Structure 1
């Protein structure tokens, strides 16, 4: 009987931290899902020329974009876009968008302090994105985008 009581005490002692961590894991999985939603709203929003999805993904008024691009002569240069409202509006006005059924995937995701995340994203064979997302008033938004062409 004493052995059973000890075994139960040990098991119950282990159950307390597990249930406390369960709450943290639930919050982390909710954050992860919300981040994935924002990233794919951007990706599919661009593919579908969906203004609604693009503006839902980005904090358009405050975000920026920087990328390594190629000129017509093949030389690389760094370009930056400070007005994402203009960029997103241009993407949404695309008369011939590539479509929502494109190949893209999240390569990695790091969440720090439950308020900032960095996502590495591959878009088909076109480019790689490093997306920084911030959680503001409970919502995850893309606040910075850096990219390189493949």
Structure 2
């Protein structure tokens, strides 16, 4: 698990650009993903992801073995949108954000202290979209 001090230091670095239009738009897409998942909102999830093109890859343990699994986001969004909203308290934090050429970004995201996501976003037209999500389970 990432240490709290390391997370705080990285958040301080990424928040140095708070209020920047590009960083704010990227953060909005990331939180559409996180909050949309909790709300079971297909609208927010589709706003966050380039659903028909995006993929999710997880490095997981299965019977003690490390396995890599891949999901199509179009199917995943349909699954995440089912059921009642999550009522348990959830916290999501941007750990770091790197933007290149104002068209490509990589965001490390702490999802509820359970998962660490590496999100790759690209600017599609005027919108920032998550193109891929790679995650690990925090231990």
The TM tier, using the shorter chain, reads 0.7 to 0.9
SS in 1 for 2:113: coil
Scaled by the length of structure 1, what TM-score is found? 0.76
* Larger proportion of helix: 1
Higher relative contact order (CA 8 A, sep 6+): 2
C-alpha distance in 2 between matches for 1:98 and 1:69: 23
* Larger proportion of strand: 2
Paired residue for 2:99, among 100, 108, 111? 111
Q: Count residues in correspondence.
A: 121
Paired residue for 1:86, among 75, 91, 100? 75
- Closer, same or farther: CA 97–74 of 1 in aligned 2, 3 Å: farther
C-alpha distance in 2 between matches for 1:69 and 1:133: 23
Give the drift of 1:124.
1.7
Question: Where in structure 1 are there 5+ consecutive unaligned residues?
Answer: 1-25
Quote the residue 1:68 is aligned against.
59
C-alpha distance in 2 between matches for 1:31 and 1:98: 29
Instruction: Check the 8 A contact 1:48/1:100 in 2, yes or no.
Output: no
Question: Where in structure 2 are there 5+ consecutive unaligned residues?
Answer: 1-16
SS in 2 for 1:68: strand
C-alpha distance in 2 between matches for 1:43 and 1:100: 14
Quote the residue 1:18 is aligned against.
none
Which has more radius of gyration?
Answer: 1
C-alpha distance in 1 between matches for 2:110 and 2:64: 22
- Closer, same or farther: CA 100–114 of 1 in aligned 2, 3 Å: farther
Scaled by the length of structure 2, what TM-score is found? 0.81
